[in-house]
Amino acid sequence: QQQVKQSPQSLIVQKGGISIINCAYENTAFDYFPWYQQFPGKGPALLIAIRPDVSEKKEGRFTISFNKSAKQFSLHIMDSQPGDSATYFCAARGLEGSARQLTFGSGTQLTVLP
């Protein structure tokens, strides 16, 4: 019940295209859903996060779409750039008990072709 399933495992997009990464969760106690961006040899950096009281959050070229009933959320990167090439992790966390720890998805390696 702690799992967060992420897909696809890898994604190749042309410059200027839209990158879409999907995640699904099972634990209804989760109430905080961040996305992290990680470059090789670096720690993850918080990109954007959402709480389930809204269905969408946008920050610049990055948008999270959240579907509470389906227990799914996705990251959309508009006008993808080569500099966006990195590994992206979705995560989820709740307020109580074991759900208080961040549970990470398996990661998506994004390559944006110039």
Compare residues 19 and 36 and give the one whose CB is closer to other proteins: 36
DSSP 8-state code for residue 45: E
Instruction: Report d(CA 75, CA 7) in Å as an integer.
Output: 11
Instruction: Report d(CA 4, CA 92) in Å as an integer.
Output: 7
Q: What is the dihedral sign for C-alpha 88, 94, 99, 102?
A: positive
Minimum separation from the CB atom of position 16 to other proteins (A): 27
Residues 9-48 that bind other proteins (CB under 8 A): 32, 34, 36, 41-46
Minimum separation from the CB atom of position 49 to other proteins (A): 8
- List of residues 6+ apart from 107 with CB closer than 8 A: 6, 9, 38, 87, 88, 89
Under rule CB under 8 A, residue 104 binds other proteins: yes
Minimum separation from the CB atom of position 23 to other proteins (A): 12
Question: Which parts of this chain interact with other proteins (CB under 8 A)?
Answer: 32, 34, 36, 41-46, 49, 89, 93, 101-102, 104-107, 109
